[in-house]
Structure 1
Amino acid sequence: MTTPDDIEHMILRVGLGERDAFEALYSATSAKLFGICLRVLKDRTTAEDVLQDIYLRLWRGGAATYTAGKASPITWLATIARNRSIDKLRQIRPTRPLEDAPEVADPALGPADLAEAASERTRIFACLDELDPDKSAAVQGAYLNGDTYADLAARFDVPLNTMRTWLRRSLMRLKDCLSQ
């Protein structure tokens, strides 16, 4: 079984251009990274393309940016996979506000189900309107548009941990609002 220390050693050797280390790293981590890509992208072909891009970037110098001891090596690789997948998702699916999204009726849903879904959507947006406008926009960006916490922190000019706190507290307020 491959240990985190083994993976860290492989990454460091890939950073030095060792082909056998690259093959070993791919064998040890590609299934996990592919799973992350597939979960984000929900399309096998696109996930395979992103996975290939990840390993190409690692081979072409990305592995040299890894700092041993700063983060676990698999966490570092998983973060790269998640971020590259989100970037790809943004490329193929331009974001637009949910209010502008057309409502598509599921043919399996009846009139009562459609009315309930519309009512639920109205309740969610009413609760979002109760939040501070910046916090509401941050929640929509993170959970509806797929924006990263870092992107949101930069957009709203707040530290990353402050953005995490905003989102956590906003979700708790939304939960309270929706349970009433």
Structure 2
Amino acid sequence: MDPNHDFLHLLSATAQGDRLAFADLYRQTAGKLYAISLQMLRRRDLAEEAVQEAFVRIWHNAGDYQHEKGTVLTWMISIVRYRALDMLRATKSRRETGDEGLEEALDEQSPEQELYEQRDRVRIDRCMDRLDEGQRQAIEMAYFRGLTHMEVCDQMETPLGTIKTWIRRGLERLKRCLES
């Protein structure tokens, strides 16, 4: 099944005001958009804010999507990337004008937050190390670097079905590992 066809259907319904279609589109794409935002912003709260604002724009601009310019997911990713870039630019601007409030917020975390993030990273790294090489590479490319499944296929020179299977099975193993 072609995910772009499904996304196009959901986006079209969203453009008509269908909240259930929008919720389904969110459910299917939010994780990937969050991963891209987190990769750029390096803070969970800012990444969540960027994704939330991007989905507000997606809701309001669903009717503006033009399929000739790329897939629905590519369009959505560009919205998230632009929002994250706007946030980074705002940080840089504040730094240059001496208003360091957001910059300090970006740089400072409570010791508890840092400890929890370090623990999470260690647990995730430990579980990632337990995956098969193909699963680990595919998940890193898709979720940590923000590549599409097709881009992962190209990078790994592996068929799409294999990539999807590796990612699905790898995520299942990661979930079991992290829950134990």
Taking structure 2 as the reference length, the TM-score comes to: 0.50
TM-score (ref. length: structure 1) = 0.50
* RCO comparison, higher one (Cα < 8 Å, 6+): 2
Higher helix share: 2
Greater gyration radius: 1
